[in-house]
Each structure stands twice: as structure tokens, then as C-alpha cells.
Amino acid sequence: MQILTTAAGLQAYTEQARQAGQRVGLVPTMGALHDGHLQLVQAARSECDEVIASIFVNPTQFNNAEDFRLYPRVPEADAALLIPAGCTALFVPSVAEMYPQPTVLRFDFGALERVMEGAHRPGHFNGVATVVSKLFHMARPHRAYFGQKDWQQVAVIRQLVADLSFDLEILACPTIREADGLAMSSRNRRLDPASRAAAPLLHKVLAAAAEQVRQGVPPAQVRAEAEAALTREPLVTPEYFEVADAQTLQPLEAYVAGRAVVLCLAAHLGGVRLIDNVVVEA
Amino acid sequence: MQILTTAAGLQAYTEQARQAGQRVGLVPTMGALHDGHLQLVQAARSECDEVIASIFVNPTQFNNAEDFRLYPRVPEADAALLIPAGCTALFVPSVAEMYPQPTVLRFDFGALERVMEGAHRPGHFNGVATVVSKLFHMARPHRAYFGQKDWQQVAVIRQLVADLSFDLEILACPTIREADGLAMSSRNRRLDPASRAAAPLLHKVLAAAAEQVRQGVPPAQVRAEAEAALTREPLVTPEYFEVADAQTLQPLEAYVAGRAVVLCLAAHLGGVRLIDNVVVEA
């Protein structure tokens, strides 16, 4: 596995791969890798000749400086996981390499970012779209792989790709969970034992809500009961629980035949903010 | 010269060129070509193996529907000019090809677009940045060529390229003028004879103002005298005249040692809106 630290180095690497007719897959990450990331690498491995993983804790997508400071960084352990997963190149740029000058332009994704993560983390999706655009221009992948745990992020990136005609495909892979249902996340490492023990409640509430959606329980009631269930656990402070259209991400007042529903939540446990979601197909 | 009408066709064309190790130049235009455009093609020809010109009257950068409707469209004449200039491929997409679905994302370039064209043509630079991003993703040039007549547009595109780390270089070529000083523009074709006769005043006023800047006449006085000179001509209705920092485009209250100044104007002549500018080097 080749280690690359500069944009020019990555561009040269991928240009050579494309000249040789190889298919390039990109797995953008912020490191502290878990099985969810490795599944993305394996998916890329099965479909591409070159698999480039990037590890970059992107400051511009953190609205909370403390969250950025505390984000886990374990580069050696990450590299050791990527090699057996089939990664052929690892891109680990510095902040100065990714942002040689302050960024002026800002993206606005309209209604897509007026809800959930966009509403609760001002500037988050601008930072995501900026860094993803940069990574796409540096790695020039045929395919880029993202986890469905960040459902709204995937929707925003799909919109970015469509609206700017990026010449690549976005692949979204299912959320990988611990045995007790907790969605894998780099931030799970920061949970204290009591919070970790309480954390499976998030998926339990999502699963129960999904069952209610399947049974046709109205969105407002699903939302209220889920919020109540989260609030009953003293170690969990819910930030939002939303019943939304899976494509537009807009909150639902009523179900629409033929349209998938996504249930999304964010909650704080002992100072750590976690998100999760479940999709109910139409 | 190959004619391409689809994004996929252009992407395949340019991918093949790059695989063959060729340098690709892109000259984005809205057609109705004049010597200013042809100079861009010739510059690309002298520096690149492949020269791709695009002709696309981009609806999303017109804030005025009538201006869009009346924008000159002469595709056959354009093609006849491009071949001898050294263009190797012409990309002429339909609106549906460029915008297969409505665009959701919007760009904001901050202070850079709060002045002059950005202030007077709401949404203009969002449309420019969107279409230019699309063309860059479709043509994947090593270099893209723009005319300095659209000074603010060049500044916005340079910011776009820097902020999203597009892997290409922007080349700006000097404004080409008629013998009487009028900056070449596709919109000049729409001038009636009286307006055409009055139009050289724009450059005359810019040249006089540039001389004043060189002599250290304060920006406010330069601005006032230029506006007065434009207003004295009954066939000319000035929209703005600005004395600005050439890089930041912000209006100047006073000159700053070592920084270039740009003088920019927009004016209406017989229903046709023209812009022009002159740069005074530091």
C-alpha cells in the first residue's frame, strides 16, 4: 500500500492508473477506522483495480471545535487495517495541503440541508461538499464509497455530483452494527462504559419506530413515542428524531405511497454525539 | 474538427486524449464568436495538443430572460471560424444535456460577487460557476482559457478552482478591441448603428480614468468624472463604474501601494448591455 501525502502525488498516482486503463475506487474517511469503513474498502476492492482510501479529519465540516479536537486519530492502526482489506493507496494529507488558502466559496443545498444534520450543525455540509469536491479532483475516482449511516451526507453528495456533473458514481453501503445494534462509528471509542451500555437504545428505538412506520402509525406519533423512549434513558439526550422522506429528507406529516421513509436521530451520550438511521422501503 | 453533443461523448474523447498523454485545452464560450474568442483558441492551440471549444448559451447565468432569448446564436458561422483557428473538438450540448435535472446547489462567492456584475445580475456567478464546473468535469482540461473582458468572472472562476482544488490551470487572455477601442463582445452584433457609433465612449472613458489613476487622482473623483462623461452621451445609460482592487474586486476609497487597480463599467446602449474594464498595474 502506497502512502501519499500531497495532492500532486495523488493526482499523478491516479492519472497513471487511469492511463493504464485501471478502475479507481475512492473511500474517503476521517480515520479511526472500524468495520463500517473496511466494508467500503472491500466493496471498492471487489469493483475496482485501484482502491484509494483517504484519512483526513476535515476541520471545515466540524461546527464544534471540541468535537474536532477530540475526534480519534490513530493513523498507524488505520494503516494496519487497510492493507489486508485491499487498499492499494492511502492518502493522508495535512490541513495545509488540503487548504493552502482560506476557502471563500460556500455551497448551499437548500431544503436538503435545512433539516437534521444540516440544521443542527451549521456549515457542516458546506465543509463536507468542499472536502469531497477536493478529494474527487485529487483522486479522480470512477467510484466513491460512502456509508449509509450518514444518510443525509450521502444525499448531499449525490446532489453535488449530479449538479456539477462529476464524472463518477456514488456507492452507498449499509450501516454496519455491533452485535447489540449500535451503529459502528469512530466516535464510539469516546463513549465511557455507562454510555456505551446505554447506546444500543438508539438503534432499538429506530427499529421500533421502523416497525410502527410499516404498520402505518402516523409520523407525528412515531416521532413522539421515539422521543419519549429516548428521553426516558437518563444517559441519553436526544437532539432530534425525524421521520422523513428518504430521498428529499423533508419531515413527513403523512406517508406517501411508493416513497421510502428514513428515520434519523442524533443524540448525546456522556458528551459524545452519535447519529443513526433506518430506512423503511416503500 | 470533431463535433460532440453529449457529456459522455466529450468525457470519452478527453479521457482517450489524456490516456495518449496529450495536453487538453478548453475554451468555454457562448458562441457568436469574435476575435477575442479566436485568440483564446489560438493560445490554447499553441500550448495544448487538443483544443476543445464549447458553445453553450447557459440559461442559468442569465438573470434577464430577454437577454437570454436575444443572445446571438450562429453555430454554423462559429464552426467555420473554429477550424482554421486550430480547434480540434467542438462541444455543443443541448440545455437538457447540461441540465438533465434541476440544479439544487447554489454557490456563494462572498464579497467577490457582492459587487459589480454579481450585484447587478443576481444569480449570475452561481450560474457561471455551475456551468464551468460541469464543463471542467466533462472536458477535464489541463488548461482552460477565459477572456479578461470578463474580469470578475475570471476572478470567480480562479476562486472556484482554488477552493475546490480543480486539477487545472486558468489562463486569462487580454481583451481584444475593435480599431475604435470597443471591446469585442458577442452582444456588439445587437447594437443599432447609432449605438455602435456611441459605443467606443466606454473604452475612451476607461482609458481616461486609467490615466487619472496613474496620476493619483482619488478613486471617488475618478468615479464621478467617469460617470459624468458616460451620462453626457444620451445614447449611453451607465449601470455602474467602479474603481476597485484588481484582485479582491472591492471598491477603493484610496489606492494601496503595490496593488493593481481595475476599472470596470457596465452600460446600456439601445437595449444592449455591455461591460468593459481596464487594469492599471501597481
> Average pLDDT in the A237-248 region?
98
Reported as type and span, the H/E element at residue B214 is: helix B200-214
**Residue of A270, A269, A266 lying closest to A151 (CA atoms):** A266
The CA radius of gyration of chain A, in Å to the nearest whole number, is: 19
Are the folds of B2-173 and B186-276 the same? no
Q: Cβ–Cβ of A164/B19 closer than 8 Å?
A: no
Q: Does A167 touch chain B (CB under 8 A)?
A: yes
Give the rounded percent of residues in chain A with a pLDDT score beyond 90. 99
| Interface A:B, Cβ pairs < 8 A | 82
Report in angstroms the alpha-carbon separations of B279 from A33, B14, B179, B204: 52, 35, 19, 14
Encode pLDDT of A104-113 as tens digits: 999 999 999 9
Tell me, what's the ipTM? 0.95
Q: Does A108 touch chain B (CB under 8 A)?
A: yes
What's the pLDDT at A214? Answer: 98
- Which of A165, A169, A250 is best to mutate for the B interface (most B CBs within 10 A)? A165
What's the pLDDT at B147? Answer: 98
Phi, psi (5° rounding) for residue B235? -80, -5
* Residue in the structure block whose three cell numbers are 457562448: B30
- Give the contacts of A16 (CB within 8 A, at least 6 positions apart): none
**Residue of A204, A208, A195 lying closest to A237 (CA atoms):** A195
The pLDDT profile of chain B, 282 residues, written as one tens digit per residue, is 999 999 999 999 999 999 999 999 999 999 999 999 999 999 999 999 999 999 999 999 998 999 999 999 999 999 999 999 999 999 999 999 999 999 999 999 999 999 999 999 999 999 999 999 999 999 999 999 999 999 999 999 999 999 999 999 999 999 999 999 999 999 999 999 999 999 999 999 999 999 999 999 999 999 999 999 999 999 999 999 999 999 999 999 999 999 999 999 999 999 999 999 999 998
Closest partner residue to A106 (CB to CB) among B7, B19, B108 is: B108
What's the pLDDT at A124? Answer: 97
Chain B residues with CB under 8 Å of A134 CB are: 164-165
Domain A186-277, CATH 3.30.1300.10 — does that match?
A: yes
Kindly indicate the confidence band of residue A166, based on its pLDDT and cuts at 50, 70 and 90.
very high
> Could you state, in order of their start, the residue ranges of all structural domains in chain A?
2-173, 186-277
The CA radius of gyration of chain B, in Å to the nearest whole number, is: 19
What's the pLDDT at B205? Answer: 98
Q: Cβ–Cβ of B15/A15 closer than 8 Å?
A: no
**Residue of A133, A15, A131 lying closest to B22 (CA atoms):** A15
What's the pLDDT at A58? Answer: 97
Distance CA A144, CA A170 (A): 5
Q: Cβ–Cβ of A104/B109 closer than 8 Å?
A: yes
Distance CA B205, CA A192 (A): 71
> Average pLDDT in the A13-30 region?
97
What's the whole-number average pLDDT of chain A? 97
Chain A residues with CB under 8 Å of B7 CB are: 165
Please give the annotated binding residues of B for beta-alanine, written as ranges: 61
Q: Cβ–Cβ of A164/B130 closer than 8 Å?
A: yes
Kindly indicate the confidence band of residue A236, based on its pLDDT and cuts at 50, 70 and 90.
very high
- Which of A18, A163, A168 is best to mutate for the B interface (most B CBs within 10 A)? A163
- Give the contacts of B26 (CB within 8 A, at least 6 positions apart): B44, B52, B53, B54, B135, B136, B139, B141, B143, B144, B145
* Residue in the structure block whose three cell numbers are 475554451: B27
Distance CA A8, CA A2 (A): 14
What's the pLDDT at A228? Answer: 98
Encode pLDDT of A121-161 as tens digits: 999 999 999 999 999 999 999 999 999 999 999 999 999 99
Chain A residues with CB under 8 Å of B167 CB are: 11, 137-138, 140
Encode pLDDT of A61-102 as tens digits: 998 999 999 999 999 999 999 999 999 999 999 999 999 999
The grid coordinates listed for A164 are: 456539477
Phi, psi (5° rounding) for residue B145? -115, 130
What's the pLDDT at B2? Answer: 97
Q: Is A38 exposed, middle or buried (0-12, 13-18, 19+ CB in 10 A)?
A: buried
- Give the contacts of B10 (CB within 8 A, at least 6 positions apart): B4, B52, B89, B91, B138, B139
Q: Does residue A1 have a known ligand-binding role?
A: no
CATH number, domain B186-276: 3.30.1300.10
What's the pLDDT at A25? Answer: 98
**Strand A272-280 relative to strand A261-269: parallel, antiparallel, unpaired?**
antiparallel
Q: Does B138 touch chain A (CB under 8 A)?
A: yes
Distance CA A104, CA A124 (A): 15
Question: Taking the CB of residue B138, how many other CB atoms lie within 10 A of it?
Answer: 27
Encode pLDDT of A177-187 as tens digits: 999 999 999 99
Q: Does B96 touch chain A (CB under 8 A)?
A: no
Question: What does the longest C-alpha to C-alpha distance in chain A come to?
Answer: 58
Q: Does A96 touch chain B (CB under 8 A)?
A: no
Closest partner residue to A104 (CB to CB) among B133, B159, B166 is: B159
Chain A residues with CB under 8 Å of B133 CB are: 164-165
Chain A residues with CB under 8 Å of B130 CB are: 163-164
The second-level CATH assignment, the architecture, of B2-173 is: 3-Layer(aba) Sandwich (3.40)
